[in-house]
Structure 1
Amino acid sequence: MESTMNYFALLVISSFFLCTSAKYHHQNQDKGKELKYLMEPLVHAEVTARRGHTVVLPCMMRFKPLHYRVKWTKISPPSQGVENIVLIANGHADKQYGSLGPRASLLRAHDRDVSLRLTDLELEDDGSYRCELINGIEDESVIITLRIEGVVFPYQSHHGRYRFTFFEAQKACAEQDATLATYKQLYRAWTEGLDWCNAGWLSDGTVNYPVLHPRPACGGDLLSGIRSYGPRHKTRDHYDAFCFTSTTKGSVFFIPELLNFVEAEHACRREGAGLARTGQIYSSWKFQQLDRCDGGWLQDGSVRFPIINPRERCGGIAEPGVRSFGYPSKSLRLYGAYCYR
């Protein structure tokens, strides 16, 4: 029994370290009943895609009942209040619901294919979806997870540490071309090297921080992992934020001049661009390998620089990342500019 439990725990932990998976989850409304109409999928437990792309969440029928409907629902993260129905279809026509609207349709590659096709993916599309065959008393379903490939970054108010309520954290991430990260997104970022001592809000209203290297200034001798404060009051408590972003349609470029903040705005404008948002510079660092040693202004008044290949003459930083100089005086300090178009 103990060896079985250890194997199961190892399997669960290992799954977080995979970018894709070869195992599929399924769920019947009656868990003791074998699937009759829907095929238990054998591949793509987790479909991975990037923002702006098109993706297919597979769902296949073994054979077609005489009368049926197919209902696709987004089940996690849970929506507020009503069920988050994405699409309902009978044998011939689709009816679209919710925020996905015309971006959601059935693939219908053949007469037994009721896979969900999502176009122009958004950050909020990340999560688990249920494909449900509705056929009277024989309803059954399978579940698939869509993971938007991206990057998690800690974000702090220009007023200082621990200034955001939950709703202010949501707004701050949105202003930086991002969303509040989910726990799974933060966990994955931790496995990829994110180590941060300041606690921040996540999308479920909990407060956490990821620690790879325990140290006295970061929780003392506690083990490495995701340290959690649990759910906090969304309007009374104040923390930083962990934001999540993905690919962008544009790109970030650098203007190597000595500029104050207003001059940096004008310099970007002359190039038909605007000062980059924090999420955009993280996206360009992650997906376009943006690498510069030079500090540059961003739209929020912060100064940062992205490093892919750490080197001795670049601040002595040992690991890749986007480094911050904080929020210096906009009129007195001179830096380059990171622009986005």
Structure 2
Amino acid sequence: MLEVLDGTGSSPKDAAGDAPPHLQYLLEPLHTTVHTQRGATATLPCVLRALPRNYRVKWSKLEPANYRESIILITNGLYHKNYGPLSPRVRLRHSHRYDASLTITDVALEDEGRYRCQLVNGLEDESVSLTLHLEGVVFPYQPSNGRYKFNYHEAKRACEQQDSRLATYQQLYKAWTEGLDWCNAGWILDGTVHYPIINSREPCGGRLLLPGVRTYGARDKQKDRFDAFCFTSALQGQVYFIRAHLNFKEAGQACRNHGAAIAKVGQLYSAWKFSQLDRCDGGWLADGSVRYPITTPRERCGGLPDPGVRSFGFPSKELRTYGTYCFVGK
């Protein structure tokens, strides 16, 4: 069944929730969302108003791909222990004795999501929830052999190979509010399938459906096949263009000759979003596609009215028609 969901991924009838319980030991954070970018350092606030005699503070993260809660760090105020893949990049801020805030260094794409700071005091416990939000860009992605070729696992791998990851529902919804209009359905991180529509039209569910993020719900991750919606954030490096007439193999070599690598699709989108990269020249990318980024739309550069990354698809790799986009890390 096709539904149109709100920004939380829930139907309106499910939106109401219970008020948070009264906190005895933890201070309610002034802001429950922390905004950051890939590569930055971010701190999730958790401050005690009083210190119980014997207590523990446990930090955990809700994993959107499987709805499980993963422990990150446990402390008793004197000692702490880190857990899981975040372990090398997290520490307690501990700016004073009541401070149990969690600092994450070198923020990665997979760090976005909901975190919980839980105080355990004997049989009692209380917690505050916070959201780490990465500024970024969502882009639709399909392989060279056409649309609707990915099962869930292939879609996940394809995004990761292009310096991105499968988008969350919240990221896709935000992209829709910012103008993403795409008629092909794609996988997102939680295993559901959606497509964002701004201009209702016959091939995209019909003219009678309101604009919104339309959903097919959860699908079979092995058997069902769709495109992918990928998410990427700021670059730790630079994308630049080499003007030449190169085939695909020569494009990769041209980048290597400059001490760089041929850019991935996510890197080009990131440079367009965060560095305002604007070029009217089609260039090879690592997946064999040819694209170009436009921040200032103009008639001779595709003629479309909105900024975006334009695509020439996947031409023959033997063609010597295009230049190449290269990426060099910092």
TM-score normalised over the length of structure 2: 0.92
Contact preservation (8 Å) 1:26, 1:141: no
Matching residue of 1:300: 287
Tell me, in whole angstroms, the C-alpha distance in 2 between the residues paired with 1:141 and 1:331. 59
How far 1:250 sits from its partner (Å)? 1.0
Matching residue of 2:319: 332
Verify: 1:38 aligned to 2:21, yes or no: no
Matching residue of 1:271: 258
How far 1:263 sits from its partner (Å)? 1.3
- Within-5 A mapping of 1:1-12: none
Tell me, in whole angstroms, the C-alpha distance in 1 between the residues paired with 2:301 and 2:236. 29
Q: Tell me the alpha carbon deviations over residues 59-107 of structure 1, each in whole angstroms, 9 at most, x when there is no partner.
A: 11111111111000102426476x4001001111110001101211111
Tell me, in whole angstroms, the C-alpha distance in 1 between the residues paired with 2:225 and 2:301. 34
**Counterpart among 32, 53, 64 of residue 66 in structure 1:** 53
Q: Which moved more, 1:215-224 or 1:167-176?
A: 215-224
Q: Tell me the alpha carbon deviations over residues 208-238 of structure 1, each in whole angstroms, 9 at most, x when there is no partner.
A: 0000111122221111000101111111111
Give the match's secondary structure for 1:174: helix
Tell me, in whole angstroms, the C-alpha distance in 2 between the residues paired with 1:269 and 1:59. 46
How far 1:266 sits from its partner (Å)? 1.3
**Counterpart among 80, 93, 117 of residue 94 in structure 1:** 80
Tell me, in whole angstroms, the C-alpha distance in 2 between the residues paired with 1:247 and 1:310. 22
Verify: 1:118 aligned to 2:98, yes or no: no
How far 1:312 sits from its partner (Å)? 1.6
Verify: 1:283 aligned to 2:270, yes or no: yes
**Counterpart among 195, 206, 217 of residue 203 in structure 2:** 217
**Counterpart among 182, 205, 223 of residue 236 in structure 1:** 223
Q: Which moved more, 1:259-268 or 1:178-187?
A: 259-268
Contact preservation (8 Å) 1:27, 1:143: no
Tell me, in whole angstroms, the C-alpha distance in 2 between the residues paired with 1:78 and 1:309. 36
Verify: 1:144 aligned to 2:130, yes or no: yes
Q: Tell me the alpha carbon deviations over residues 28-64 of structure 1, each in whole angstroms, 9 at most, x when there is no partner.
A: 6xx3xx21111112x2221110011100000111111
Contact preservation (8 Å) 1:27, 1:141: no
Tell me, in whole angstroms, the C-alpha distance in 1 between the residues paired with 2:44 and 2:111. 12
Tell me, in whole angstroms, the C-alpha distance in 1 between the residues paired with 2:211 and 2:276. 28
Verify: 1:257 aligned to 2:244, yes or no: yes
> Between Structure 1 and Structure 2, how many residues are aligned?
314
Give the match's secondary structure for 2:97: coil
Tell me, in whole angstroms, the C-alpha distance in 2 between the residues paired with 1:231 and 1:75. 19
> What is the identity, as a one-letter code, of the residue corresponding to 2:106?
D
Verify: 1:158 aligned to 2:144, yes or no: yes
Tell me, in whole angstroms, the C-alpha distance in 1 between the residues paired with 2:119 and 2:300. 60
- Within-5 A mapping of 1:75-94: 75-77=62-64, 79=66, 83-94=69-80
Tell me, in whole angstroms, the C-alpha distance in 2 between the residues paired with 1:79 and 1:103. 22
CA change 1:80–1:184 in 2 (3 A) is closer
Contact preservation (8 Å) 2:72, 2:83: yes
Contact preservation (8 Å) 1:154, 1:241: yes
Give the match's secondary structure for 2:202: coil
> What is the identity, as a one-letter code, of the residue corresponding to 1:37?
Y
Tell me, in whole angstroms, the C-alpha distance in 2 between the residues paired with 1:333 and 1:259. 4
Q: Kindly report structure 1 stretches of 4+ aligned residues shifted beyond 2 Å.
A: 25-28, 78-81
From the two aligned structures, give the one with the greater strand fraction. Answer: 2
> What is the identity, as a one-letter code, of the residue corresponding to 1:94?
H
CA change 1:78–1:208 in 2 (3 A) is closer
> What is the identity, as a one-letter code, of the residue corresponding to 1:134?
V
Matching residue of 1:248: 235
> What is the identity, as a one-letter code, of the residue corresponding to 1:155?
Y
TM-score normalised over the length of structure 1: 0.89
Give the match's secondary structure for 2:204: coil
Q: Tell me the alpha carbon deviations over residues 294-333 of structure 1, each in whole angstroms, 9 at most, x when there is no partner.
A: 0000000000000000012212121000011000001035
Alpha-carbon RMSD: 1.7
Matching residue of 2:116: 130
Tell me, in whole angstroms, the C-alpha distance in 2 between the residues paired with 1:132 and 1:79. 21
> What is the identity, as a one-letter code, of the residue corresponding to 1:296?
G
- Within-5 A mapping of 1:128-207: 128-207=114-193
Structure with the larger RCO, 1 or 2 (CA within 8 Å, 6+ apart): 2
Tell me, in whole angstroms, the C-alpha distance in 2 between the residues paired with 1:27 and 1:78. 26
> What is the identity, as a one-letter code, of the residue corresponding to 2:23?
L
Tell me, in whole angstroms, the C-alpha distance in 2 between the residues paired with 1:216 and 1:79. 34
> What is the identity, as a one-letter code, of the residue corresponding to 2:90?
A
